[in-house]
Amino acid sequence: MRLPASEKGLAALALALIGRPCGLSPGEQALKCASPARIDADTVRILRDSILAGGDPLGEVFAVLRSATDRRALGAVYTPAPVIAAMLAWAEGEGAPARVVDPGAGSGRFLVAAAKRFPNAKLVAIEIDPLAALLLRANVSVLGLSERTEVRVDDYRATPELPWIAGRTLFIGNPPYVRHHDIPAAWKSWFSATAARRSIRASKLAGLHIHFFFRTLELARKGDFGAFITSAEWLDVNYGSSLRELLADGLGGSALHVIDPKAMPFADAATTGAITCFRVGRRPKALTVRAVPSLGHLESLSDGISVPWKEVEKARRWSVIVRPTSKPPAGYIELGELFRVSRGQVTGKNDIWIAGERAAGLPPDVLVPTVTKARELLSAGPMLSVAEHLRRVVNLPVDLEEIDAAYRRAVERFLKWAKSAGAADGYVARHRRAWWSVLLYDPAPVICTYMARRPPAFVRNLCDARHLNIAHGLYPRESIAECALSRLLDYLRNNVSTSSGRTYAGGLTKFEPRELERLPIPALEMLCHETTTRLDTSRA
Ligand SMILES: C[S@@+](CC[C@H](N)C(=O)[O-])C[C@H]1O[C@@H](n2cnc3c(N)ncnc32)[C@H](O)[C@@H]1O
C-alpha cells in the first residue's frame, strides 16, 4: 500500500473512496481540482477494508500529514475509540435520538459510531475544514451512510438552524480547543452577544470549545441532549465561568467526568479531558461528578457522586467538586487554579539528544538551550536570566524537509550516528511521531525542581529556556501581573517544605505535577493589589 505524501494525495484517495461525490462545498471542490488524478487502486482497496473493519485510516494519515502545530489552528485532535464508545453508551441510556449532530466532526469518528448505534437516526456533520469533510464523506460513503447524512462544511457558530424533526436530537463530539489568542475579534463579539442573550457575562478569553457549547444551546430544543469531551481547564479558570453558568442554566448539565491527564485522553496532546453530559432545559437536581484515572475506567458515564446543583453553583472552581476531599483553607486557592504544571520532555537518551561534539554543524535553531540538571535551577537563585551556560538539546522537527537545505548533510550525518547509537530503538523514541524529534515543550515562565533533599526551587524563567523531565514547568492559565507572580514565587519558596511532597527512602522528596497543582496558596488578590506589566501567557 502506498500512503499519500501530501494533503492533496489524501484528498484524492478520499475522493476515490467517495466514488461520485455530489454536493461538495467550494473548499472541497478546490481540493478536488488540485488533487492528483492518478491513485493507487490497491491502496484504495486496503483503505476501504480498513474502514469497513471499523478503522479510521484516513483520519490517521491526516494526523501524520498535518503537523500537530498546523492542526492547532483548528483544534483538530481526533478522539480515541474508548472515549467515543463511553459517550455513546451514555447517550443510548438516555433513549434513541431521531437525529445526531456532530459539531466539528473531523473525519467523522463520532458520527460513524453513532450511526452504528442508532440505525434510524439522521446524521448531521458540521466541519469547517474541507479536507476533513472529504475524509468524513469517504467514511460515510464506504459505510453506506450517505443517504441519511448531511455534511455541512461550515463554521458551527454560523451554521443555519436545524430543520424541525419529530424526536430528539443528540449533540455529541469533541469541540475544537482553540485558545482565545487565535480567535478573531468578530467571533469574540459574537460570543459576548450570544452569552448576553442568556444574561451570561462572557469573557473574551474563552476558547472556541466554549463557543461551541453556546451555539449548541441555540440550535437545540428542550428535550435534546448531548455529551462533549473537551479539555478540563474551564472547570476552574475565570473565563470558564460562562460555560459553568450555561450548564447550570439552559444547557442542563447532568454529568461531568474528569479524566486524569496521565491517562493522555488524546494521543498527541498532553491535556486533561472532561466529558460533560447535558439535557437541554431539563437540569437534574444534582450533577453527577467523577474523577476518571484512566481511559480503562471510563465505563459508565452514569456513575459518579451526586452533588446537588445548589452546591455546584456556589463553587468557584469545579475541580474541587470532583475531588471533594482536598478543599484548600478559607482565603486560599490551589496552585493549579493559576497554573498548569507539566513535567519536562523526556528525550529517551540524554547522551545522544543533549548536544555533544557529534552535534557540531547542526542548524543553530535546533540546538535549544535547556535546563537538563536540577542543579542548574538550584544554583540559579530566584531567576534564570541568561541561557548561555545551559546545555543544548537537539530539537529536530518531525518533518526534516523543514530544515534549511544548507544543513541537510550535517543533519543526516548526525542522525546516522544517532541511529547507530540506538537512538531510534528505545520505548520513548518508538512512541514519538518521529524517532528523531524530541519536541521540547514551550518555555515555561516558571520552572521548578521536584526531587531533592530540599524543598523545590521555584525559578522565574526570563530567558525562555526549555526544561527536560528533571524539572516541572508552571504555565499560567491566565495572565498574571508580574508583581503578583513574584510575590507568589516568594510565598512558594518560603512555604513549600519537603513535608509537602512525598518522601522516599533515603530522604528524597518528590512532587508530582498534580501534587504541586494541589498546593494551597493565598488567593492572588491577597498577594498583590497592583496591576503592573502582565505576564505573557501566549505560549503556555
Ligand atoms: C477536536 S477535533 C474533533 C474531530 C472529531 N469530532 C473527533 O472527535 O475525532 C475538532 C474539529 O473541529 C473542526 N473545527 C474547528 N473550528 C470549527 C468551526 N468553527 N466550526 C466547525 N468545525 C470546526 C476542526 O477542523 C476539527 O476537525
pLDDT in tens, 68-95: 889 999 999 999 999 999 999 999 999 9
Distance of CA 253 to the CA centre of its chain: 22
Distance 300 CA to ligand 1 centre (A): 25
In sequence order, what are the beta bridge partners of 383? 460
In sequence order, what are the beta bridge partners of 229? 275
* CA–CA distance, 33 with 15 (Å, rounded to integer): 11
Q: Specify whether the CB–CB gap between 73 and 285 falls below 8 A.
A: no
Return the best residue to mutate from 156, 188, 208, 209 for the ligand 1 pocket (most ligand atoms within 8 A of CB).
156
pLDDT of the residue at 529 = 55
Question: 156 with 301, same domain?
Answer: yes
Residue 537 lies in a domain: no
74 lines ligand 1 (CB under 6 A): yes
pLDDT of the residue at 158 = 97
Q: Specify whether the CB–CB gap between 462 and 384 falls below 8 A.
A: yes
Mean pLDDT of the chain: 90
Q: What is the mean pLDDT of residues 453-479?
A: 93
Q: Specify whether the CB–CB gap between 184 and 158 falls below 8 A.
A: no
Q: Which of 292, 326, 360 is the last residue of a domain?
A: 326
Q: In the predicted model, is pLDDT for residue 416 greater than 70?
A: yes
The model's pTM: 0.66
Nearest Cα residue to atom 13 of ligand 1: 104
Question: 306 with 367, same domain?
Answer: no
Residue 216 lies in a domain: yes
Q: Are strands 225-230 and 273-279 parallel, antiparallel or unpaired?
A: antiparallel
Write the CA distances from 278 to 83, 202, 209, 283, 301, integer angstroms.
Answer: 16, 20, 15, 8, 12
Question: 93 with 171, same domain?
Answer: yes
100 lines ligand 1 (CB under 6 A): no
Q: Which three cell numbers stand for residue 400?
A: 526534516
pLDDT bin (cut points 50, 70, 90) of residue 475 is very high
Query: Which residue, among 362, 382, 370, has the nearest Cα to 457 in the 3D structure?
Result: 382
Question: 373 with 247, same domain?
Answer: no
Residue 130 lies in a domain: yes
Question: 367 with 492, same domain?
Answer: yes
As a whole number of angstroms, the longest Cα–Cα distance in the chain is: 71
Q: Are strands 391-394 and 273-279 parallel, antiparallel or unpaired?
A: unpaired
Residue 334 lies in a domain: no
Q: Which residue has the cell 524563567?
A: 461
3-class secondary structure for 232-292? Answer: CHHHCCHHHHHHHHHHHCCCCEEEEEEECHHHCCECCECCCEEEEEEECCCCCCEEEEEEE
Ligand 1 atom at shortest distance from the alpha carbon of 78: 9
Q: Which three cell numbers stand for residue 480?
A: 498574571
Query: Which residue, among 71, 86, 62, 63, has the nearest Cα to 229 in the 3D structure?
Result: 86
174 lines ligand 1 (CB under 6 A): yes
Residue 535 lies in a domain: no
Question: 320 with 346, same domain?
Answer: no
Question: 391 with 519, same domain?
Answer: yes
Q: Residue 135 maps to which CATH number?
A: 3.40.50.150
Question: 388 with 257, same domain?
Answer: no
156 lines ligand 1 (CB under 6 A): yes
Question: 306 with 244, same domain?
Answer: yes
Ligand 1 atom at shortest distance from the alpha carbon of 126: 21
pLDDT of the residue at 262 = 65
Residue 308 lies in a domain: yes
pLDDT of the residue at 142 = 98
pLDDT tens profile 95-140 = 999 999 999 999 999 999 999 999 999 999 999 999 999 999 999 9
236 lines ligand 1 (CB under 6 A): no
Ligand 1 atom at shortest distance from the alpha carbon of 104: 12
Distance 387 CA to ligand 1 centre (A): 38
Residue 113 lies in a domain: yes
The burial class, CB within 10 Å (0-12 / 13-18 / 19+), for 497 is: exposed
Q: In the predicted model, is pLDDT for residue 505 greater than 60?
A: no
Residue 2 lies in a domain: no
Q: In the predicted model, is pLDDT for residue 494 greater than 60?
A: yes
Backbone φ, ψ for residue 122 (5° rounding): -75, 150
Distance 131 CA to ligand 1 centre (A): 12
Query: Which residue, among 530, 433, 412, has the nearest Cα to 482 in the 3D structure?
Result: 530
Question: 521 with 426, same domain?
Answer: yes
Total domains in the fold of the chain: 2
Q: In the predicted model, is pLDDT for residue 538 greater than 50?
A: no
339 lines ligand 1 (CB under 6 A): no
Q: What is the mean pLDDT of residues 24-38?
A: 92
Quickly list DSSP for 27-89.
HHHHHHHHS-S---HHHHHHHHHHHHTT--HHHHHHHHHS-HHHHHTTT--PPPHHHHHHHHH
Sheet order of strands, 253-259 included = 149-153, 122-127, 99-103, 169-173, 225-230, 273-279, 253-259, 286-292, 305-308
Which of the residue ranges 101-110, 197-206, 397-406, 518-527 would you say has the lowest mean pLDDT? 518-527
Provide the residue type at 2 as one letter: R
**Sequence-distant (≥ 6) Cβ neighbours of residue 183 within 8 angstroms:** 207, 208, 211
Q: In the predicted model, is pLDDT for residue 530 greater than 50?
A: no
* CA–CA distance, 254 with 480 (Å, rounded to integer): 33
Domain that holds residue 93: 7-326
pLDDT of the residue at 501 = 55
Nearest Cα residue to atom 9 of ligand 1: 78
Q: Which of 264, 291, 326 is the last residue of a domain?
A: 326
Q: Which residue has the cell 469533510?
A: 133
Which of the residue ranges 216-220, 322-326, 340-344 would you say has the lowest mean pLDDT? 322-326
pLDDT tens profile 252-310 = 999 999 987 667 677 666 567 899 999 999 999 999 999 888 888 887 898 888 999 99
Question: 184 with 251, same domain?
Answer: yes
Q: Are strands 253-259 and 367-371 parallel, antiparallel or unpaired?
A: unpaired
pLDDT bin (cut points 50, 70, 90) of residue 495 is confident
Q: Which of 258, 293, 326 is the last residue of a domain?
A: 326
Nearest Cα residue to atom 20 of ligand 1: 155
Q: Which residue has the cell 479510521?
A: 56
Query: Which residue, among 440, 454, 468, 434, has the nearest Cα to 501 in the 3D structure?
Result: 454
* CA–CA distance, 136 with 150 (Å, rounded to integer): 11
Q: In the predicted model, is pLDDT for residue 326 greater than 70?
A: no
273 lines ligand 1 (CB under 6 A): no
Rg (CA), the chain: 25
Percent of the chain exceeding pLDDT 70 equals 92
Helix (H) / strand (E) containing 467: strand 466-467
Output 231 or 47, whichever has higher pLDDT: 47
Question: 277 with 383, same domain?
Answer: no
Distance 174 CA to ligand 1 centre (A): 7
Q: Are strands 446-449 and 458-461 parallel, antiparallel or unpaired?
A: antiparallel
* CA–CA distance, 89 with 113 (Å, rounded to integer): 11
